[in-house]
Amino acid sequence: MTNKEFAEGLRRFADAVEACEKELDLSQLHANHWVSDAADMADSVRAVGGKFKKEVNDHYYILRQDFGAVRFDVFATHNQVCERVVKTERVEIPDPDVKITVEVSDPDAPTITVEREVVTWECPPSILASAS
């Protein structure tokens, strides 16, 4: 769908809602744009213009702008715009080879130290800065 076709659809929808005699319980309309990398994200934000805000969750890096009842999100997965960082940390866990009946919270319970990988994503401070 082209930008023009999308905008025409929004206008028809707005006309239909405005003309509706029944008050509809509408909250927000979402328009999502998926990008391939940080440069594509910055280009998309620059092309639309306006003020975007950044949101990052467990899976996505999102640049968001609200146009009243319409929310426009530019989405990328972390691996498209962020650097994957793997760190090893040492943690103590109850020793699985020791068969005793003690509470796990007992400070005297036997433990072993294991290493585990912790994955984090280091995202750029702001793709928005490169979109300006």
**Which range among 16-20, 25-29, 61-65, 97-101 shows the weakest confidence by mean pLDDT?**
97-101
Considering the domain architecture, whether residues 94 and 49 belong to the same structural domain is answered as no
**Does pLDDT of 106 surpass 70?**
no
**Does pLDDT of 19 surpass 90?**
yes
Considering the domain architecture, whether residues 22 and 78 belong to the same structural domain is answered as yes
Domain that includes residue 113, residue range: 84-119
Considering the domain architecture, whether residues 79 and 124 belong to the same structural domain is answered as yes
Q: Identify the band that residue 33 occupies on the pLDDT scale cut at 50, 70 and 90.
A: very high
pLDDT at 99: 66
Identify which has the larger pLDDT, 100 or 128.
128
**Does pLDDT of 13 surpass 60?**
yes
**41-59: pLDDT as tens digits:** 999 999 999 999 998 888 8
Q: Identify the band that residue 117 occupies on the pLDDT scale cut at 50, 70 and 90.
A: confident
Considering the domain architecture, whether residues 31 and 91 belong to the same structural domain is answered as no
Considering the domain architecture, whether residues 88 and 33 belong to the same structural domain is answered as no
Q: Identify the band that residue 104 occupies on the pLDDT scale cut at 50, 70 and 90.
A: low
Considering the domain architecture, whether residues 13 and 44 belong to the same structural domain is answered as yes
Considering the domain architecture, whether residues 63 and 30 belong to the same structural domain is answered as yes
The tokens for 68 are 């009243």
Distance of CA 94 to the CA centre of its chain: 35
The total number of structural domains that make up the chain: 2
Under 8 Å between Cβ of 118 and 87: yes
Rounded to an integer, the average pLDDT of 12-16 is 92
**Does pLDDT of 22 surpass 60?**
yes
What SS3 string covers the chain? CCHHHHHHHHHHHHHHHHHCCCCCCCCCEEEEEECCCHHHHHHHHHHHCCCCEEEECCCEEEEEEEECCEEEEEEEEHHHHCEEEEEEEEEEEECCCCCCCCCCCCCCCCEEEEEEEEEEEECCCCHHHHHC
Considering the domain architecture, whether residues 127 and 65 belong to the same structural domain is answered as yes
